[in-house]
Amino acid sequence: MLDIYAGKSALTLIEKEGFKQSIFSSFLGASGGPKWFSLFGLDKYLFGEFFANRTDPLNLIGSSAGAFRAACFAQNDPVGAITRLAKYYSETSYEDDVTPLAISNSARALLDRVFDEHGAQEIIDNPIFKAHFLVAKSNGLVASERKPLQIAGLVKSYALNRMNRRLLTKQYERFVFQNANSTLSIEDESGFLTHKVPLTQANIKESLLASGSIPMVMLGIRNIPGAPKGMYRDGGIIDYHFDISLKNSPKLTLYPHFNAQPKAGWFDKSLKRRVNALNYDKTVMLVPSDGFIASLPFGKIPDREDFTKMPTQERIEYWQQVLRQTEALADSFSEFIKQQDYSRIKLIG
């Protein structure tokens, strides 16, 4: 049901010390919208049991849907928060003439439900589970909300990225809105400028919304408090599935993901370009197996195209069936923890 991958150094440490929560100091959550539903049962197990008695800090690093998940995990009741996210996200529906404004407003309403009454302050104050929301500050044409200009900017981004990912660095900067007490640093060989901004009551909702604000689909977030003036958009533009090095995170990184072949940025989705294996040397990936995916309705994990390709009620029922079936992934991981069967672990790459 669950495939487990590890970098060489990660596997060596696991074989020496065992697979337990204390060997990890960071946790990654990728972009991908409703693809995350395929990890729901696993997320509940990880933060309801595996990390439940954690006493050392754990960096929660996410872009887009991964940032929303990090916001859930850093609340006092992570299982309750992630369950609210799954419920209300899966039940989202739109009119036929949906606009970016309507989708953005829906995301704001979703966020209010996920945070509930005290969630924002719990995230800000959490001394153990330290949230980091990755956001892409957009410069030039991609900062415009005028559709023709934004399209032109995105076409330019696509063309530049095909030549070299480094060429995107004038169009985008990485902003990390993070727990004020975090010492984590991100290094990126592609050369994106990376800025840190402490999370506060004034910026936590705006930065989280920005992390999930997909170009052309949603409105960007302008002038986030505590950050330079400008337009902020989906963190997945730069950090879709991650190709970064984490500094001041001495232990391993746990990365539940719906794909065993991560892509660095949003514009790499259609490319064969691979991530730097060194950036995954200390990473453990938990991935739904091909067999598990084949067992889901329609033989696939959910994606955003389901909004337009399926009648609303059929889509909601399909998504919620996937959420229920992911309990099997939690069971598979729990069995692995009990048996410590390292023969199940495959090397990344």
Q: Give me the residues paired with residue 246 across strands.
A: 186
Sorted by sequence, the CB contacts under 8 Å of residue 128 that are 6+ apart come out as: 54, 55, 56, 57, 58
The predicted structure's pLDDT at residue 94: 86
Q: Give me the residues paired with residue 286 across strands.
A: 4, 256
Beta strand pairing call for 252-256 and 245-247: unpaired
DSSP calls for 247-274: ES--SEEEEE-S-SS--SSGGGTTS-PP
Structure confidence by residue, pLDDT tens digits, 194-247: 999 999 999 999 999 999 999 999 999 999 999 999 999 999 999 999 999 999
Is 195 strand, coil or helix? strand
The pLDDT-based confidence of 193 (bands split at 50, 70, 90) is very high
The pLDDT-based confidence of 95 (bands split at 50, 70, 90) is confident
pTM of the prediction?
0.96
The predicted structure's pLDDT at residue 253: 98
* Residue 261: C-alpha distances to residues 236, 243, 286, 293 (Å): 16, 11, 12, 15
Alpha carbons 328 and 334: distance in angstroms, whole number: 10
What's the whole-number average pLDDT of the chain?
A: 96
97 has pLDDT over 80 = no
Sorted by sequence, the CB contacts under 8 Å of residue 272 that are 6+ apart come out as: none
List the beta strands (DSSP E) in the chain.
2-6, 24-29, 58-63, 129-138, 172-178, 185-187, 194-198, 221-222, 231-233, 245-247, 252-256, 283-288, 345-347
| Rounded mean pLDDT, 249-274 | 95
Burial 233-251 (b: 16+ CB within 10 A, else e): bbbbbbbbbbbbbbeebeb
| Rounded mean pLDDT, 58-82 | 98
Alpha carbons 278 and 167: distance in angstroms, whole number: 22
Percent of the chain with pLDDT over 70: 100
The predicted structure's pLDDT at residue 96: 74
349 has pLDDT over 80 = no
The predicted structure's pLDDT at residue 222: 98
The predicted structure's pLDDT at residue 176: 98
The predicted structure's pLDDT at residue 164: 97
| Rounded mean pLDDT, 264-274 | 94
Alpha carbons 15 and 341: distance in angstroms, whole number: 10
140 has pLDDT over 90 = yes
| Rounded mean pLDDT, 83-107 | 92
| Rounded mean pLDDT, 69-98 | 94
List the beta strands (DSSP E) in 7-162.
24-29, 58-63, 129-138
